[in-house]
Amino acid sequence: MEQPIKILIVEDNVIIADDMQSMLEEIGYEIVDNVIVYEQAVEVLKTQQVDLVLIDIILASDKTGIDLGKHIRENYDIPFIFVTSNSDRATVENAKTVKPNGYLVKPFEQQDLYTSIEIALSNFIYGKQNASKGIAPEDNTEDVPLSNSILKDSIFVKKQHLYYRIQFGDIQFIKADNVYLEVNTIDKKFLVRSPLKDYLEKLPQNKFYRAHKSYIVNVDHIDAINSKDIMINNTLIPISKDFKEFIISAMNS
């Protein structure tokens, strides 16, 4: 059975920390611990398995979240994300010195937290894979925070313990199934936990459209159309009136 991602929260505002923990557990992550100061975090990292750390930059101790980020970089091979109320240039520049895997500004929604974590994990794994092949990572720290260095032509989808890189062009359609999405390529299916609307925002707007309340389709893969459905790879997909009019208009233009 797949093991959940184990997360350490380091946040000195107890209300915010508890709220973060509730959001993360609802998504399916496991919270290893929820601590408020640098020293507690160091102890947890020594004694527990941690896959990712969420760190407030300003902590209730002499040492800051940036100090903790430096400690993680020097001693552990795991990603971390700064979660802070400060987005001013000086704070961002200071944060960049320890190369965080993400930077999330409060207040945020559950989906923001989920997206930041999944991108940080996928970029971290992709970077390790490149390192094992002898490919040097690009240095983007002078231009943008590391969390923005996302591959522009693809998306990462988790299956078991791996993140698979899927080219946007290979995605044929996405079907909503309760709290999960079924991402369909030519020969594979992946399950993703995300609202359909939020996932659509990650995809190229000139190729992917909401064809129905439960479907996103890549228009490049439409094989046939009638008054109620389209066909993609021998699968009939229901379409809304608006989408049918859009397709017919595009066909006639």
Do the beta carbons of residue 247 and residue 230 sit within 8 Å?
yes
Average of per-residue pLDDT values in the chain? 83
**Report for 162-166, 190-194, 215-219, 249-253: range of highest mean pLDDT:** 215-219
More confident residue, 144 or 203: 203
Distance CA 219, CA 221 (A): 5
Quote the pLDDT of residue 223. Answer: 93
* Token pair recorded at residue 111: 């989906």
Do the beta carbons of residue 80 and residue 35 sit within 8 Å?
no
* Tally of CB atoms within 10 A around 84: 20
Which whole-number Å values give the CA distances from 225 to 59, 136, 210, 247, 249, in the listed order? 58, 46, 15, 9, 13
Q: In the predicted model, is pLDDT for residue 148 greater than 50?
A: no
Q: pLDDT-derived band of residue 146, with 50, 70 and 90 as boundaries?
A: very low
Q: In the predicted model, is pLDDT for residue 140 greater than 60?
A: no
> 């809304």: which residue's tokens?
240
Quote the pLDDT of residue 202. Answer: 82
Write the pLDDT tens digit of every residue in 77-86: 999 999 988 7
Distance CA 78, CA 181 (A): 27
pLDDT, mean of residues 22-48: 93
Q: In the predicted model, is pLDDT for residue 139 greater than 50?
A: no
pLDDT, mean of residues 126-150: 43
Write the pLDDT tens digit of every residue in 64-118: 999 999 999 999 999 999 998 877 888 888 889 999 999 998 888 888 888 889 8
Quote the pLDDT of residue 80. Answer: 96
Quote the pLDDT of residue 48. Answer: 94
Which whole-number Å values give the CA distances from 83 to 55, 58, 68, 155, 201, in the listed order? 6, 9, 13, 23, 22
- Structural domains in the chain, sorted by start: 6-132 (3.40.50.2300), 151-252 (2.40.50.1020)
The kind and range of the H/E element at 237 are strand 235-238
* Token pair recorded at residue 107: 């207040």
Residues in the chain: 253
> 């594979």: which residue's tokens?
188
Quote the pLDDT of residue 2. Answer: 52
* Tally of CB atoms within 10 A around 195: 14
Q: pLDDT-derived band of residue 143, with 50, 70 and 90 as boundaries?
A: very low
Q: pLDDT-derived band of residue 123, with 50, 70 and 90 as boundaries?
A: confident
Question: What's phi and psi for 240, nearest 5 deg?
Answer: -80, 165
Q: pLDDT-derived band of residue 160, with 50, 70 and 90 as boundaries?
A: low
More confident residue, 133 or 72: 72
Do the beta carbons of residue 50 and residue 7 sit within 8 Å?
yes
Instruction: Please name which of 217, 155, 219 lies closest in space to residue 190, comparing C-alpha atoms.
Output: 155
